[in-house]
Structures are given as structure tokens and as C-alpha cells.
Amino acid sequence: MVWGTIIAAYLFLAGLSAGAFLTSSYAARKYPEAVTIRIVGRIISPVLMGIGLLLLIVDAEAGLKDPLRFIYLFTNFSSVMTIGTYFISFFMMAAAFIALMEILKKEINKIVEYVGIFFAVATAIYTGFLIGVIGAVPLWNTAILPILFVVSAFSTGIAGTMLTSAFIDKKVVHHVMSLKKIHVSLLIAEVFLIFTMFVITSSSNESAAQSVAMLLSGEYSVLFWTGLILVGLLVPIVIESLELYNSRQLHRRAGMEVAAAGSPGFTAIVITESAVLAGGFILRYLLLAAAVPVIFL
């Protein structure tokens, strides 16, 4: 494995943090009455990013022994890592400021929020480019990877925000149907992007074909098919699609209150959103674990 579990966790938490921020911003505009979702997304965002950065520092043992290595991250402008460091720094500052304003119950500065949205998207994209620019690993070196990571970031961000919100207010998560529609669309898009990436990369060279084979039928196939595809994607797609269908039917017959009453229970929400989060981590772990570099002779 080129990079380990800690890096997979960092990539996962960075994307989740960005997705939670974007989820809260969307909810604030589309559903101003869904206060819990807005506040939860804005508070967990900088917390998750902070945990991810701590993991990154712990993993960079040489950086702990040589602090100048971290300073170099801010000065080497030819490096994708330097650009990403600035993206994350600006996003972290905006997200932390907005979270503080929420805690203090003060009005959010719109300019700061727009800055946060911009750098949240940039951070989600960066998590894909961070490994995507490594040409020696064909599985990563594809334009689809940053798109996949952005889709997964927003998807896990929705899941993390909805899961946490459900523990605070079990009803509010049933009144954001357009957010659920977006979530299902993202999960379906994720399945499409994964297999499209596999088809394209596996035909590029032998190393890429080996990586894809390890995931589809080799060493990591059980985790891929069961953990990522079945549990992380298909189960949430089915459950949330059924919820949307039942909600639509109940709306037609009896209105909002009955529709909310007919929504799936708390346990179903916990299972669905937890499955999405597990799938998001497994996706990043597998992409790192199955990386087969090109051997130059």
C-alpha cells in the first residue's frame, strides 16, 4: 500500500467536512425552518476537518521531527499539496468562524459564507487531485477521480449532517425531501463514476488492470462488493428511494403531517446514513490499498 489507513481517514474526513458545510448552506437557503440541520452541519464541519488534520500530522512522523517540512507546504507553489494546504486553511477559517457565530447565535456574514462554500468545493476537489496527480499510479491518475471524490464528499456530508441531526430532532430529517433527492442522485452517480473509472483505467495499462482486478475479483473484492457497493451504496439508494416514493404517495393522499408520520423510523435513518459514511471511508481506503504503481525499467 502506498499510503495507509490514516491517509484514507484524512481524505474521508476532509471530504465529509466540506460536504457537511455545503449541506448546511443548502439547508439554510432551501429549508430555513430546518434550523437543526443548518446548525449541525456548520458545527461538525470544522470539528471533522480538525480531526483530519491531526491525523495527517500524526502520520507525517518526519514532519513532527522537522517542523520546517510543514512550513515548506506553504511555500512550494509548484506542489498540489501546497495549493491544497491553502484551500484547507481558508476553508477551516471560514467554517470555524461560522460555527462560532452559530454557537453565539449571531448573524452569519454572507461574504464569509460564500468564501466557505467556495473553499469547501475546492477542498473536496483537492482530496481527489492530491492522489490523482501521481502519474505512477494509473488507478489514481484519471480526471474522473476528483469528480468522484466531490460527489462522495457531498454525499457523506449529507449523511453525516442528517445522522447527527436525527439524534437531536428525529422529525426534521423527514421534511427536507429535496435534500434526500439530491442524496439519492449522488449515490447513483457515485456507482456510475466508480465503474466508469474502472473501465477507462483498466484499459490504459497492465498496472491499472491489476488494480481493478484486485477490487473486482481479487484481494479486496469482498470489501468492495459487500462493504462499498452493497452496504455503502445500494442499500442507502433502495431505502431512501422507498422513502421518497412513500412520501410522495402520502403527500398526494393526506398531506405533510401524515407523510411525516409514514416516514421510516429512527433506526432506518441511522442504518442508512451510517452505511453511506462507511461506504465513503471504504471507497478511499480501497483506492489507496489497491494502488499498483507502474514499474519503470
53: number of Cβ within 10 Å = 18
The total domain count for the chain is 1
Domain membership of residue 297 (yes or no) is no
Domain membership of residue 296 (yes or no) is no
For 28-50, the DSSP string reads HHH-TT-HHHHHHHHHHHHHHHH
Cell of 84: 491544497
Q: What is the CATH number of the domain that holds 274?
A: 1.20.1630.10
Domain membership of residue 118 (yes or no) is yes
Domain membership of residue 9 (yes or no) is yes
Do 232 and 155 contact (CB within 8 A), yes or no?
no
Return the closest-CA partner of residue 98 out of 112, 88, 111. 112
So what's the pLDDT on residue 205? 81
For 46-93, the DSSP string reads HHHHHHHHHHHHHH-HHHHH-THHHHHHTT-TTSHHHHHHHHHHHHHH
Query: Residue 135 belongs to what domain range?
Result: 5-289
- pTM for the predicted model, two decimal places: 0.90
Do 275 and 236 contact (CB within 8 A), yes or no?
yes
pLDDT digits (tens, 9 = 90+) for 218-255: 999 999 999 999 999 999 999 999 888 887 776 666 54
pLDDT digits (tens, 9 = 90+) for 167-192: 999 888 878 989 999 999 999 999 99
